[in-house]
Amino acid sequence: MDPIARNHVTVTGNPAADQTIVFVHGLGTDQTAWHAVAAAFQQDFRIVLLDNVGAGKSDPEAFLQSRYLSLHRYALDLLEVCEALQLQGAALVGHSAGAMVAALAALRQPDRFSRLVLLGASPHYLEDGEYHGGLTHAGLNDLYKSVLHDRPGWADAYAPSMLGPSGTASQSLRFADALKAIPSDRILTVLCSILQSDLRSDVARLALPTLILQTRNDDAVPPAVAEYLHAVIPHSQLVMLEVDGHLPHLSAPSLVVEAIGPFLRA
């Protein structure tokens, strides 16, 4: 399958630019979530946007449950897109699960990328001894039950908590609708691939210059996780954004642009 069509890849920005930025979205969003942030880099960078398989306008027939039980398959998809576009030395910017997809891709082919931005990223969502991922096993089971038995109610409550107080009602509504639109036979597979992943040993092997962005209060990823990433990833920087919520690229894109601009242009 052609990866450009499979992932509904969009290439914009300056075609003559020396540098390329690839944006990777997280759960419940698609490439359009990056539009406000990507617009700030259109003149100086080539911009690559894509929809992860199972999201947005990606090929609906590409999602096979047996292939997407972990984030590793999404990372391979991303690498296939980069290969098709003949990208070399590109910057990767990922949000949430998309941040871990970007990290896994960078580990597989580090020479293909120049730097990495992890926004609202978590290598492991579960509490584990002194590691505070934010989610207990009981909480995970309750989440699965809510998704199975009352997905509309879960989505309507989950969306505003993820946007935070800076998010608008229309943004929360769109995010909730996107979560409801994920087919019932797919949603648990996607959630399991994210929430039950443990990529702590993987991220510790990252060698690229890495910028970690974290909001002050995030119901999905506690600040302690960002501090953990900063401690274990060599050559990393940590920037705490003065905003709440898990989707600052939607609720406060100017803060994200301000944080990543100097890093991408260095």
For the chain, domains (ranges, CATH) are: 3-265 (3.40.50.1820)
> Largest alpha-carbon pair distance within the chain?
52
The confidence band for 184, taking pLDDT boundaries of 50, 70 and 90, is confident
Catalytic positions are 96, 218, 246
Task: Calculate mean pLDDT across residues 106-119.
Answer: 97
- Whether the full predicted model's pTM is greater than 0.75, yes or no, is yes
The confidence band for 10, taking pLDDT boundaries of 50, 70 and 90, is very high
User: What's the pLDDT tens digit per position in 36-94?
Assistant: 999 999 999 999 999 999 999 999 999 999 999 999 999 999 999 999 999 999 999 99
